[in-house]
Amino acid sequence: MKKIYAAIFVISLFLAACSGSPDVDIPEEIASLENLSVVEADAGPSRSVGLNETASYGDTEDVIIGQMGMFAVDESGRVFLADISQQVIHVFAPDGEWLTQIGGEGEGPGEFRGIGPVKVGNGLLHAVDQNLRRITRYELESLEFHSAVSLNSDDPPVEYSFPYDYHVRPDGTYLVFFTGPFTDEASTEEMVWQSALLDSEGKYASDIYLEVRANEWIVDSSDDFIRAFPPPYGRKSLMSMTPDGVLYHAWSEQILVKSYNNGGEYIGAVYFPYQSVPLNRSDALESYSDWDDRIQTVLRNQNMPDTWQAFDIMHVDEQKRIWIAAVTEDRDLYEWIVFSEKGELLGVFNWPRTRQIQAVKNESVYTRETDEETGLTEVVRYDVGFD
């Protein structure tokens, strides 16, 4: 079992450093939205936040993780961590003790060829296999194989049929988002993600559920083959689903979070008037300095936007608090902004990008962190206190 470090991080909240400005005019297309809540940035956060490191999940005396993939957390605090190289899911107790592993490489029941995102919902652990194009399900209580749902068993009502992401809904169905192939066009601005509902028998609903803008990518077709990569300033569609099935979506150009009910109907939106940081071309190129020369050349020839994206990460927790990782002038830090679905600013704090918060669950945040000396990556849990 790994040693748990009891270091306590107490984060002082401040608004003076926040790039959001009360003088920023609300764009007309946002102001016209129904059920719009505007976060009053000039009022200051209503609470302070403390993060206490309580557990870590990774290599132990019992197991060595090959290549860490996605992870999920259940209501009891267990962590389910996908191992891409071994095609298994490692199961950890809330305190970081390794318990067991499930899955394995293969095409049989409960096995994987290309394990992808893992999620928890409806008493089951769900893991998508991107190669076999199916969702494998395990009983949360026993961790026994439950069933598999094919992503190919019926034609979805979408233009493209490559599943990009999925969400587990409380009624036992899945919301599956699809994306199309990259073409030799110079821009992906017109690409969209379409979504459809998939039931536990592998049958899609007949109508498109929701359509959102696809992430920005740069497409290079100058050679004999097409390759694509996300620019460092690329805008993204970010989504989060709460246990009651409400879907939250935001386009990272600006901090505007829209919510949709179980039927895909718009509920309302929350807007934070955050002023995006001006983009410096040198900083953008430097962030990709480790990439190959061809990619750097393609990036150098792009017409870059005037500003960075407003934010990079979004989570919505069980209390429907919205967590936003806003981009700052300091390329080593995110400014995390936490506000309620009603528009109350709860907290603002700086946090290292190297400790990227990838899940918010059970009044805790879970990060992915890499030790600079050893190169080992682990998931770390910090319990959250709002005072």
How far apart, in whole angstroms, are the C-alpha atoms of residue 263 and residue 246?
A: 9
pTM for the full model?
0.90
**Mean pLDDT on 288-307:** 91
As to burial, measured by CB atoms within 10 angstroms (0-12 exposed, 13-18 middle, 19+ buried), residue 64 is exposed
Question: Domain ranges in the chain?
Answer: 8-386
DSSP tally for the chain: helices H, then strands E: 3, 28
Q: Could you report the per-residue pLDDT of 208-233, keeping only the tens digit for each? A: 999 999 999 988 877 677 788 899 99
Cβ(210)–Cβ(241) below 8 Å: no
How far apart, in whole angstroms, are the C-alpha atoms of residue 93 and residue 240?
A: 25
Cβ(55)–Cβ(359) below 8 Å: no
Average model confidence (pLDDT) across the chain: 89
Range of weakest confidence among 60-64, 252-256, 308-312: 60-64
Q: Could you report the per-residue pLDDT of 321-373, keeping only the tens digit for each? A: 999 999 999 999 999 999 999 999 999 999 999 999 999 999 999 999 998 88
8-386: CATH topology is Neuraminidase (2.120.10)
Confidence of residue 145 (pLDDT cuts 50, 70, 90): very high
CA–CA distance from 358 to each of 22, 61, 70, 171 (Å)?
Answer: 29, 25, 9, 25
